[in-house]
């Protein structure tokens, strides 16, 4: 066993003498944080199991980055308990730092370094001996598709390449938990796809990943759980399906008409089982709490009234819909 | 991604023990930017103009070098060049240190550094040593210019060594103040202003206050023939002035005359040499500045666990 690995194992034994694998990777209880008069976090409770890919969603200023910075030991919590792998971030921040790889939403790079030197610097700063770094760094550059840029100066890399290099930096000490704050922000579609593929690879390696991103809809298939945070409160946590189920009492139906869509909205709003109704051109979307029978009856009634439906089906919802619905004030009790 | 096992690991490079990652990074990156070379060039030009300008004036006024040997004039020239270099150090040190932490914060690289295993003291001391190393390079590069004074005699290599030791200490002190401001203030601009403000006060402000207070005391004590138990305490103010401390090393009478200033007829010697006071006060302030920087660079500090409190 290598020296850092042995040290981690010793710390893990100390933190949990029973050696239970049931211990959550992240445990947050009653977390509060203020910046002057602004209350950034208001009693956040959150548990993330080992090996989970956790998507953190919420509007700007909701408290995602603050929570992540506290987990990364960069900000002290005002109140509450924050533990990473059973270790309190206040009691032993050094041990927490050994377990985490943190990628902030905005970060700088040392432009005068070559990519390999950059990773050597952070590897050395994490206490990895040179011989180990020599072995690890080519693998990391391979993982993030930068092997052909190993001798390039950092300032010659594109934005997407710098993001990937920063991700490689997070991994240099082989952490158990990755905290990735908007890792795909500002990237073009191709760079986003590359980032998503790398994250899938990391997931398959069994890393616990906390990721906040506005490309969460694209990541939906790889996120195990999501947490929705708004105004410093975690308003929901669970799997994507659970959150969608809790958010809506029924289905979202889509009705595309050949005309008279505005008239159809007025009619639908007066119908039983129909909740909120929205219209985009000739497409009408509405919440529907009834079953299949009621749905069929509604269609018959619409046709009977002279409406000419082109399509009538259940809408495919994704994380973006969840995010938009939840942060529009239709909150659910977590 | 596992590396070689501990047993197979080759012995650690000796350089790894002397140069930690942050220091290595600072050395590498500093010398990769053309700014450092420009700084060195302009520094040498500035000190060259001052030294050779002074030489020229001395030749005109006193005929120094024109077949006349006068050690006292040579000493005056040496002191002038030494104080000029001290002024340049005062100008350079805040510029090199006042942005080292806040600059990393502004470039958004500080957080990445703070989530590594580097200790607070390692980061602060590495930044300080790297800045001082560059300043030392500047000062050593001026050695050939300094050596011109040897041509005229009156100065020993030991005295030159003493001056360089004084520079090193002054750079350490003012560098640590710059790093403290850089750590406490979020913006480099504010940190630079505060560092230059403090430097200006310690170089110019102390001398100005000394002169003003000296005149005041002289006027107040003009009617008293022999104020009992009273001595020129304002001399302590001048002990904070680096230039005065430097002069006091080479002119033994300087401290006495400065403590007597403002009081007619006083013959008591200085309670402490100016350079001694300078070293004591600045050594204490340097240690405090470094400790405060180490304490404040990371917002989250290790907290001692309460007795009996578990963490699981």
What is the tens place of the pLDDT at every residue in A31-85?
999 998 899 999 899 999 998 999 888 888 889 999 999 999 999 999 999 999 9
- The Cα B75–Cα B72 span in angstroms is 5
Q: Which residue would you say has higher pLDDT here, A325 or B310?
A: A325
List the domain boundaries for chain B. Answer: 18-296
**Would the CB atoms of B12 and A106 count as touching at under 8 Å?**
no
Residues of chain A in contact with residue B116, where contact means CB-CB under 8 angstroms, are 97, 122, 125-126
Min Cα–Cα distance to chain B from A252, Å: 43
Euclidean distance between CA atoms A43 and A107, whole angstroms: 28
Helix%, strand%, coil% for chain A, nearest 5: 40, 25, 35
Is residue B256 very low, low, confident or very high in pLDDT (cuts 50, 70, 90)? confident
Q: Are A266 and A294 in contact (CB under 8 A)?
A: no
Determine the average pLDDT of the residues in B11-38. Answer: 77
Best A77, A110, A128 residue to mutate vs chain B (most B CBs within 10 Å) = A110
Average per-residue pLDDT in chain B?
81
**Inter-axis angle of helices B206-220 and B242-250, to 10 degrees?**
80
Q: Which residues of chain A have pLDDT under 70?
A: 1-21, 214-219, 221, 244-250, 316-334
Choose among B21, B298, B311: nearest Cβ to A87. B311
Copy the structure tokens of residue A213: 């991103």
Sequence length of chain A is 334
Q: Does B6 contact A at CB distance below 8 Å? A: yes
Q: Grade residue B228 by pLDDT with cuts at 50, 70 and 90.
A: very low
Q: Which helix (H) or strand (E) holds A37?
A: none
**What is the spatial distance between Cα A92 and Cα A88, in angstroms, rounded to a whole number?**
6
- Determine the pLDDT at residue A238: 86
Domain ranges of chain A: 3-236, 245-326
- Can you list the alpha helix ranges (DSSP code H) found in B33-119? 34-62, 71-97, 100-106, 110-114
Which sign does the torsion angle of CA A105, A108, A114, A120 carry?
negative
Nearest to A3 by CA among B79, B41, B259, B4: B4
Between CA B29 and CA B175 the distance in angstroms is 19
Question: Out of A74, A126, A134, whose CB is closest to B114?
Answer: A74
Tell me the CATH number for domain A245-326. Answer: 3.30.70.100
**In Å, how far from its chain's centre is CA A48?**
12
Average pLDDT over chain A, rounded to whole?
84
Residue B262 has pLDDT above 70, yes or no: no
Distance CA B234, CA B257 (A): 12
Q: What is the mean pLDDT of residues B241-260?
A: 83
CA atoms within 13 A on the CB side of B140: 6
The whole-angstrom separation of Cα A198 and Cα A167 is: 9
Answer whether A112 sits within 8 Å of B13, measured CB to CB: no
The answer to whether B33 contacts A109, with C-beta atoms less than 8 Å apart, is no
pTM given for the model: 0.78
Residue B176 CB partners (closer than 8 Å, separation 6+):
B97, B128, B285, B286, B289, B290, B293
Q: What percent of chain B has pLDDT over 90?
A: 42
In CATH, the number for domain A3-236 is 3.40.50.300
Q: Which residues pair with A288 in a beta bridge?
A: A251, A274
How far apart CA A169 and CA A183 sit, in angstroms, is 13
Quote the CA–CA distance of B90 and B199 in Å, as a whole number: 7
Q: How close A333 gets to chain B, by Cα (Å)?
A: 28
CB contact under 8 A, B4 and A131: yes
Structure tokens at B243: 């230039």
pLDDT of B167 strictly over 70: yes
What does the alpha-carbon distance between residue A139 and residue A33 come to, in Å, rounded to a whole number? Answer: 39
Which contiguous run of DSSP H or E holds residue A103? strand A100-103
What is the spatial distance between Cα B24 and Cα A130, in angstroms, rounded to a whole number? Answer: 13
């Amino acid at each position: 066993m290598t020296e850092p690995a042995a040290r981690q194992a010793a710390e893990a034994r100390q933190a949990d003498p029973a050696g239970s694998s049931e211990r959550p990777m992240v445990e947050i209880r009653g977390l509060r944080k203020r910046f002057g008069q602004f209350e950034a976090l208001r009693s956040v409770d959150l548990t993330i199991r080992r090996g989970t890919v956790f998507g953190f969603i919420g509007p700007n200023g909701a408290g995602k980055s603050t929570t992540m910075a506290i987990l990364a030991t960069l900000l002290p919590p005002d109140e509450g308990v924050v533990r990473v792998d059973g270790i309190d971030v206040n009691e032993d921040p050094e041990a927490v730092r050994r377990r985490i790889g943190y990628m902030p939403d905005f970060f700088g790079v040392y432009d005068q370094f070559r990519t390999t030197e950059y990773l050597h610097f952070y590897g050395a700063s994490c206490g990895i001996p040179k011989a180990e770094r020599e072995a690890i760094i080519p693998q990391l550059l391979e993982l993030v598709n930068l092997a052909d840029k190993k001798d390039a100066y950092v300032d010659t890399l594109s934005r997407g390449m710098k993001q990937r290099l920063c991700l490689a930096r997070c991994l240099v000490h082989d952490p158990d938990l990755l905290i990735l704050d908007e890792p795909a922000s500002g990237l073009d579609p191709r760079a986003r796809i590359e980032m998503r593929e790398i994250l899938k690879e990391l997931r398959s390696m069994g890393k616990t990943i906390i990721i906040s991103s506005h490309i969460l809809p694209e990541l939906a298939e790889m996120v195990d759980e999501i947490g929705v945070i708004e105004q410093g409160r975690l308003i929901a946590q669970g799997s994507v399906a659970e959150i969608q189920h809790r958010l809506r009492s029924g289905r979202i139906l889509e009705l595309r008409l050949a005309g008279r869509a505005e008239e159809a909205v007025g009619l639908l709003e007066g119908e039983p089982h129909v909740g909120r109704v929205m219209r985009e051109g000739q497409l009408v979307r509405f919440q529907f709490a009834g079953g299949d029978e009621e749905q069929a009856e509604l269609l018959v009634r619409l046709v009977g009234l002279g409406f000419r439906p082109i399509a009538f089906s259940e809408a495919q919802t994704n994380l973006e819909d969840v995010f938009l619905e939840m942060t529009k004030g239709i909150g659910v009790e977590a | 991604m596992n590396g070689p096992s501990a047993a197979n690991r080759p012995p650690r490079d000796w350089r790894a023990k002397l140069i930690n990652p942050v220091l290595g990074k600072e050395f590498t990156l500093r010398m990769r930017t053309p700014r450092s070379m420009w700084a060195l060039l302009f520094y040498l030009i500035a000190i060259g103009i001052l030294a050779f300008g002074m030489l020229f004036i001395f030749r005109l006024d006193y005929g120094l070098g024109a077949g006349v040997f006068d050690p006292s004039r040579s000493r005056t020239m040496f002191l002038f060049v030494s104080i000029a270099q001290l002024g340049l150090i005062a100008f350079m040190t805040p510029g090199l240190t006042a942005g080292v932490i806040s600059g990393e914060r502004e470039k958004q690289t500080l957080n990445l550094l703070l989530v590594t295993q580097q200790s607070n003291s390692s980061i602060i001391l590495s930044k300080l040593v790297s800045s001082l190393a560059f300043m030392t390079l500047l000062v050593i590069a001026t050695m050939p210019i300094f050596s011109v004074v040897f041509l005229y005699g009156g100065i020993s290599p030991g005295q030159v060594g003493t001056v360089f030791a004084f520079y090193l200490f002054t750079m350490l002190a003012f560098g640590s103040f710059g790093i403290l401001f850089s750590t406490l203030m979020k913006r480099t601009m504010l940190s630079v202003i505060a560092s230059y403000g403090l430097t200006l006060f310690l170089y110019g402000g102390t001398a100005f206050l000394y002169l003003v207070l000296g005149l005041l005391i002289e006027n107040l004590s003009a009617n008293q023939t022999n104020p009992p138990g009273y001595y020129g305490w304002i001399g302590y103010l001048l002990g904070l002035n680096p230039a005065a401390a430097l002069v006091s090393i080479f002119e033994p009478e300087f401290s006495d005359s400065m403590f007597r200033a403002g009081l007619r007829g006083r013959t008591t010697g200085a309670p402490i040499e100016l350079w001694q006071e300078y070293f004591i006060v600045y050594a204490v302030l340097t240690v405090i500045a470094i400790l405060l920087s180490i304490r404040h660079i990371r917002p989250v500090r290790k907290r001692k666990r309460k007795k009996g409190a578990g963490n699981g």
